[in-house]
Structure 1
Amino acid sequence: MKISKIKVQNYRLLKKFELDLEEDLSLVIGKNNCGKTSLLSILNKFINDKRSSSRSSFTCDDFNIDFQKHLKQKIEENQDFGDNFLGLSLKLFISYDATDDLSNLSKILMDLDPLNTSTVLAFEYSMSDEDYQKFKTAYNEFKILKTAKIEERYSDAGIITPEELAARQILRDQKKQLIFHDFLKNNHQTYFKLRKKSVLFDLAKGIEDDSNFIDLISEGIQVDKIINLNIIEARRDVSNNDKDKTLSFLSSKYYEKKETNSNDSVAIQQFKETLTDTDSQLDAVYENLFKNIVEKVGTFGGVAQGDSVIKIISTLQHRELLKGNTTVMYDHNNEHSLPEHYNGLGYMNLIGMIFEIEVLLADFRREDRENEKPADINLLFIEEPEAHTHPQMQYVFIKNIKNILQAASKGLKPGDIVFNLQTIITTHSSHITAESNFDDIKYFTRKDKNQVIAKNLKDLEKDYVAAGEDKYYKFLKQYLTLNRAELFFADKAIFIEGDTERILLPAMMKKIDQEYPATPLMSQNISVVEVGAYSHIFEKFINFIDIKSLVITDIDGAKEFTSKDKDGKDVVAIKKCRMVDATSITNASLKFFHNGKSESAHYVSLKLDWKILRKNAKKGSWASNRKGRMLIVYQTAETNDDGQAYHGRSFEDAFFHLNKSLLVTPAYEFNSLTEKHLTKFLAGDIDVYDFADDAVGSKPTLAMEILLNSKTDAENKEFSNWQTPAYLKEGLIWLMKD
């Protein structure tokens, strides 16, 4: 038995949200503020909240913003309740088979068809039609009174200038806009009610039938035997303060869970017997220790003989003894034992999580409750396990956690309690992501500013396989694992060809920031990925993660050259050439994204807006679209300071065309350039195309030399003695904007 899917409606960013869960472990990843914590929150509030149906832990801010706007419009336009669901909901889709114990689930099953092996648990915080009508009436009365108070408080009395009148009107309008939110904030618990349901899963349609349900609250059916949720939150009580004994406290919690477990009864009994023996020994010690005060008490006498005779005995409690009286130590070089707070926070966090996991596993087994079986489904939610830990620790954690949890739920030895366990782990760690099974990964991304969706990474593999590009997906998976799992957490991405761009890009971004300081590139969460000339291999991935992406490539102009073979016959070959002579391009990525077009004239004529692309989901191809989130830039025609126009074919000739003066200055050293060709270029004997083609010995070295020879001007602007080629500059400016 397992949860196959989670659906959430109208909760914070989870407006219309669906998440497929894996059988064992689901790794939830995504950028900051993309709904990961909201998922934990709604699960906890609905499943673990023991409050009555008349009260809830939900607040006004839990309602999705678009839902609040919809409800406001519906009420102010005096619309009927209709068929719309008004509220928050969490649905757990439960799948089972013939091997499962259905004694608990049978109470909520609504379809006896043996082929239907799914049911839905639904939790709602919603309004009924009756409550909706009451809400409307109360809100309209509140609005009239509140509006009158606003008009009175922010009247135009005493205001003279038009500017003051306009400012006062704006203030009044702002206050009026908040009336609905104020009413909802203070009154939602009066009109929204908690509801728990078992909903029919319509096998024929493959969806839930909300009109066919069992009210679990009115029927008195508890769900804690069906599902048990335990959480390890990101805000863990880990500290290396010498007064803090977090791990030691966890050891006592662990004991409390294990105490009633029959499998550990021998160890528990030994502990209790040792305490009894210690009590007897302490009784004798206490008799001497407290002898003086006991005798003084005895001198006061009493009504009858012996009334004021007391004795002090030892009553060690096995549970209380562990609280504050155990210390977790760690061995240092096999010579000394050091207290827990000597550990770094990373180790303490990792050890603390292991303790917590063991405590929660004991809770799942119901070890502290006699004659009670584990719930049918046990859900463990671990939030951001990477806190305080370095990459190697994160690798160790994710490599081992799945095996540890599987072993615990399936039993390590005969007689162990077996239970169904599913785990959700959320993370911001690229290291944990890279070490994970990609089929377990769930990627959260914003669909718009008020809505988040979840994507299965294994669905991306299906897209590649369907297109006959299995090897591309294999390459992508290896590449992301070894190099760039950080892409999943980036807000924007830059895909570059090689070392030259990688080395120089930060300097170019800095130059853009100096010119446009309002939204600096260097302060944005941008991931730079080196893909060679194979950005087209990443196209499905770029579309999948749906972040603003800049692809930087070379135009690679070419034309047909005719030569003779050994038999004297003409042989036509496509070879690189100057862009002024080019008739075609050889760049595979450019041709892919532009539907196979190879004519150089097409690319030369494109303005920036036409280089912005968007994927057509139905056709599966990319097309120019100003609303697109991907831009491909390549060399364009430019005029340098000497008035010479030139269209570069690669970064090197485009850069040297603009920055010939950098090579003329004696103080600047470029050892990567062949002196013979440099002399010819400066003398005008060869053009920039031949110079870039023949003179550059090492492109990475050249890039480093450009940085080493860079200067800061009198206005403190860095890299001021060279210019960025236009195609790179316009691409970075586009990326800089939201």
Structure 2
Amino acid sequence: MKLRRIEVFNFRKLRRARLDMSDKQTLLVGANNSGKTSAMKALRKFLKDRGGIDTRDVTASNWAAIEQIAGAWTQEVEVDLSPLLAQLPFIDVWLHADTSELHHVAHLIPTLTWTGGLLGVRLRLEPKRGADIKAQYLAAREAAQTLQPGGATAKGFALWPRDFREFLDKRLRDLFELNAHILDPMSFTTTGPVEPQALPALSEGIGSNPFAGLIHIREINAQRGFADAGDSNGDDDEPTNATSRKIASQIQPYFRKHIDPEKDPTPNDVKALEAIHDAETTFNARLKDGFADAIKELESLGYPGGLNNPKLFIATQIKPVDGLDHPAAVQYDISGDTSGVKLPESYNGLGFQNLISMVFQLMRFRDDWMQVGKFKSQLVTPDDKGIEPLQLVLIEEPEAHLHVQVQQVFMARAHKVLRNHKDLEKEGSAFTTQLVVSTHSGHIAHAAAFEELRYFKRELPSQGVVPTASVANMTGLFGADNETHRFVTRYLLSTHFDLFFADAIIVIEGAAERILLPHLIQHHYPDLAAAYLSFLELGGSHAHRLRPLIEALEVPTLIITDLDAVAEVDKGGKIVKESVQPCCGAAQTTANHVLKTWLPKLAEIDELVGSPPTALCHTAPDRPIAVSYQTPQKVTLGSVSTSVTPSTFEDALVLTNPKAVTDAAGTGFSCLMTRAFAKSIAEAQAPEDLAKALFERLAKKPEKAAFALDLLYIKDIKVLRAPPYINTGLTWLAGQLKGVEGAA
């Protein structure tokens, strides 16, 4: 049995979101405030806690419709609550089960002809039996209006409830409860928009806990060691702070459930209990002797004493678990030899504590599920049917306090820890473990398979409503194009996964852009400097291969690339294409695959550089993606000004910042190319001469990274300006992050 899909509706940022589940582990990634926490809280409240939903969990943009529905009740005699329920939170859970598991899922099959496969269940908020929502709301409104006929005062004071939301703030949990409904597997679709399946008019609920005996759900939340407002304390057998990072606070419930020698004693337990009894007897004798004088002095006062007053007696009672009830119950041997120097776990760094604690919790989750030790065959709840066939483990932000290498190790081994049991390791096991992890760490994402990622993307509102989110499934993103899939996954593994957490992506050509763009952005583009930008260093020959991924993420993306002009030349009777200085009217084309096949899908240089100034940054029609490349720019040299077209980032930068390049060449350790550029600036008589000299120098052995590093040595780097084509692109990108429509 496996969880196949979970669809979340009307819950916080997830108005309509589809989460396809991987067979083993599913990673939720995305920028800050993109909906990952909403997804984890929805799974917790609907599947684990089975309740605790309040008005703050309703998608904010739904309240206008909800108020309109409630406002119409004063005019309606018969009220249909289905429009209201459609605006409140609910989730659809899809399982895949075989016919051999029929005894587990008999209560979920839609028809008697079911022969294995998908099973769907909707969990939604519904009025409790006998709860008349309309009558109670209207009665509360009438009472408020009777006491305050004029409504709110000039200072804004008004009696409860001012509106339906304020009514539900107090009464939601009293009037509503979770109920489950069976869905039709025939309506399950693999693709397409996220639309809730319509329930039959007379659909009857099957209770709030349809997965009892089916799914064993455990969680490690993000607030390890801190309180999380509005959340439950976790499992019943947990300590007060169920998510404490210390193992000392976790070992007692594990001991009581799996090891306690007083529970179903074995021969080894009998020996341990005997030793505890002997220690207790010896200690009592010492207590009696030690307190003898004190008790005698008390008795000399006449109390306690006499025939009717009991005598004072001090004794101890040692319980096995008492030996673990102290801060140093867990220690670490730091001696490395036989000296046995030990320190309590609190003396270790937070990262080490957190790692060991999480691994121990995973072990405990597994052993609880598989009923290891004394817990075996114990009925915990009346409706328990034995071991559930599926375990679902939720982990929020495991990267907290963990070093980069440890993050990757944890993610690579977490699922293995959960399966480290003889009944789970064997092939074809009847028990399934699925892990769901939300993270802000590119290193965690790096350790997972690309197909296991689910990207949460923010959807900006069109009418000032609170933004919502949707989910992109990375599985099958590249279709049958195995070559592109192989390239992208290998490229990301060799670099980083931070694009999954970025506010915007900038694709660049090479090292020079990578070195200088952050400084240009920091000093001249404050809106971008405050954003989380992901730089992908990928030449124009390969950037188009990322197209399926970038379009799926829908993150504002600027591709800064080179014009790469080429022309046909005769080489000894053989016509070949050769790199040339860009020039209009010379039958030149571009060798850049991005420009030819993606944006703007033009190959002729005359068309590429002949666009009007407003279209220099070519934008995709339906996604926030743009490309910037070299175009004619005005250059002034002495008293002469004219437009020239650079060929690369480096010559465009020189043409824009001739004085800064000259200053950089003045340092004693500048590279040959920087000095050559400065010489060309000094000797050129006109902008065209300078552009030609720069192109010819770049055609030789270029030292692009060294040139960029030389510019970092100038006295005031703030004077360095972005070339016009890059300025156009960065201005567009800043506008996208501020919600401004259109390109520069």
TM range (shorter): 0.7 to 0.9
3-state SS of 2:274 partner: helix
| CA-to-aligned-CA distance 1:293-350 (integer Å, 9 cap, x gap) | 3444666488976963454333101223322275211122414222212211000001
Matched residues in 2 for 1:134 and 1:608: separation? Answer: 64
Matched, 1:452 2:469: yes
- Structure 1 position 612, deviation (Å): 5.7
Is 1:531 paired with 2:538?
Answer: yes
Q: Which residue number corresponds to residue 635 of structure 1? A: 630
1:526 partner amino acid: L
Residue number in structure 2 paired with 1:17: 17
For residue 496 of structure 2, give the secondary structure of its aligned residue in structure 1. helix
Asked if the contact 1:259/1:268 (under 8 Å) is kept, the reply is: no
Q: Does 1:559 align with 2:567?
A: yes
Distance in 2, Cα, partners of 1:123 & 1:2 = 18
In structure 1, runs of 5+ residues without a counterpart are: 51-55, 155-170, 615-623, 712-717
Matching residue's letter, 1:644:
T
Tell me which of 606, 612, 632 is aligned to 2:611.
606
Partner of 1:272, secondary structure, is: helix
CA distance in 1, matches of 2:615, 2:440: 35
Corresponding residue for residue 503 of structure 1: 515
> SS state of the match for residue 562, structure 1?
strand
Specify whether residues 341 and 490 from structure 1 end up closer, same or farther in structure 2 by C-alpha distance, changes over 3 A only.
Answer: same
Once the two structures are superposed, the pairs formed by residues 10-409 of structure 1 within 5 Å of their partners are: 10-49=10-49, 57-76=52-71, 81=80, 84=83, 85-100=86-101, 102-126=102-126, 131=132, 133-134=134-135, 137=138, 141=142, 149=150, 152-153=153-154, 179-189=163-173, 191=175, 193-203=176-186, 210-211=199-200, 213-217=203-207, 223-237=211-225, 246-259=246-259, 265=266, 268-296=269-297, 300=302, 308-324=310-326, 326-335=328-337, 336-366=341-371, 368=375, 370-372=377-379, 373-408=386-421
Give me the whole-angstrom Cα distance separating, in 1, the residues matched to 2:139 and 2:287. Answer: 70
Identity, in percent, stands at: 22
Q: 2-side partners of 1:605 and 1:254: how far apart?
A: 73
**Per-residue displacement from partner, 1:404-432 (whole Å, max 9, x unpaired)?**
11224834799xx9843322111111111
Whole-angstrom CA distance in 1 between matches of 2:560 and 2:280 = 77
**Aligned AA for 2:477?**
L
Q: Which moved more, 1:686-695 or 1:226-235?
A: 686-695
SS in structure 2 opposite 1:210?
Answer: coil
For structure 2, the residue ranges without an aligned partner over 5 or more in a row are 190-195, 228-243, 380-385, 462-466, 738-744
1:653 positional shift: 2.3
Contact 2:140 2:161 in 1 (8 A): no
**CA distance in 1: counterparts of 2:449 and 2:265, whole angstroms:** 34
Q: Which residue in the other structure is 1:619 paired with?
A: none
Q: Identify if the C-alpha distance between structure 1 residues 294 and 511 changes in structure 2 by more than 3 Å, giving closer, same or farther.
A: closer
After superposition, give the CA deviation of every residue in 1:431-488 in whole Å (9 maximum; x if it has no partner).
11111122222222223453222222222143xx2xxx32221111011112121111
Classify the secondary structure of the residue corresponding to 2:459. strand
> Of residues 697, 706, 710 in structure 1, which corresponds to 2:711?
706
Instruction: Assess if the C-alpha contact under 8 Å between 1:124 and 1:195 holds in 2.
Output: yes
Shift of 1:539: 0.8
Moved more, 112-121 or 428-437: 112-121
**TM-score normalised by structure 2 residue count:** 0.81
Query: In the TM superposition, what is the alpha-carbon distance from 1:233 to its structure 2 partner?
Result: 0.9
Structure-2 residue corresponding to 1:651: 649
Query: Structure 1 residue 125: deviation in Å?
Result: 1.5
Alpha-carbon deviation of 1:114? Answer: 3.9
2:560/2:726 contact within 8 Å kept: yes
Q: Is the contact between residue 565 and residue 582 of structure 2 (CA under 8 Å) also seen in structure 1?
A: yes
Q: 1:474: which partner in 2?
A: 486
Contact preservation (8 Å) 2:674, 2:707: no
CA distance in 2, matches of 1:143, 1:535: 63
Q: Give, in angstroms, the shift of residue 550 of structure 1.
A: 0.6
Q: How many residues align?
A: 675
| Of 350-359 and 309-318, the range deviating more from structure 2 | 309-318
1:439 and 1:379 mapped to 2: Cα distance? 19
Provide the residue aligned with 2:192 in structure 1.
none
Q: CA deviation at 1:204?
A: 6.7
Distance 1:45 1:661, change over 3 A: closer
Contact 1:238/1:246, CA 8 A, preserved across alignment: no
Task: Give, in angstroms, the shift of residue 122 of structure 1.
Answer: 2.7
SS at match of 2:388: coil
Q: What is the match of residue 2 of structure 2? A: 2
Taking the aligned partners of 1:175 and 1:672, their CA distance within structure 2 comes to: 79
- Structural mapping, 1:654-693, within 5 Å: 654-664=652-662, 668-669=666-667, 670-673=670-673, 679=679, 681-684=681-684, 687-693=689-695
SS in 1 for 2:712: helix
Cα gap change, 1:404 to 1:731, in 2 (>3 Å): same
Q: Distance in 1 between matches of 2:680 and 2:141?
A: 84
Note if contact 1:202-1:209 (Cα within 8 Å) is conserved in structure 2.
Answer: no
Contact 1:503 1:704 in 2 (8 A): yes
- Mark the CA change 1:34 to 1:184 in structure 2 (over 3 Å): closer, same or farther: same
CA–CA separation in structure 1 for the residues paired with 2:674 and 2:618: 40
Aligned AA for 1:73? Q
Name the stretch that deviates more: 78-87 or 435-444: 78-87
- 1:186–1:689 CA distance, 2 compared to 1 (3 A): same
Distance apart, 1:25 and its partner CA = 1.7
RMSD: 3.7
Name the residue aligned to 2:581: 577
The secondary structure found in structure 2 opposite 1:8 is strand
TM-superposed deviation, 1:269: 4.6
Q: Report the CA distance shift for 1:451/1:537 in structure 2 as closer, same or farther (over 3 A).
A: same
**Alpha-carbon distance in 2 for matches of 1:32, 1:146:** 46
Counterpart code for 1:511: H
Separation in 2, partners of 1:612, 1:127 = 54
Rounded to whole Å, the distance in 2 between the matches of 1:263 and 1:560 is 88
> Normalising by the residue count of structure 1, what TM-score does the alignment of the two structures yield?
0.82
Alpha carbons 1:12, 1:38 under 8 Å: kept: yes
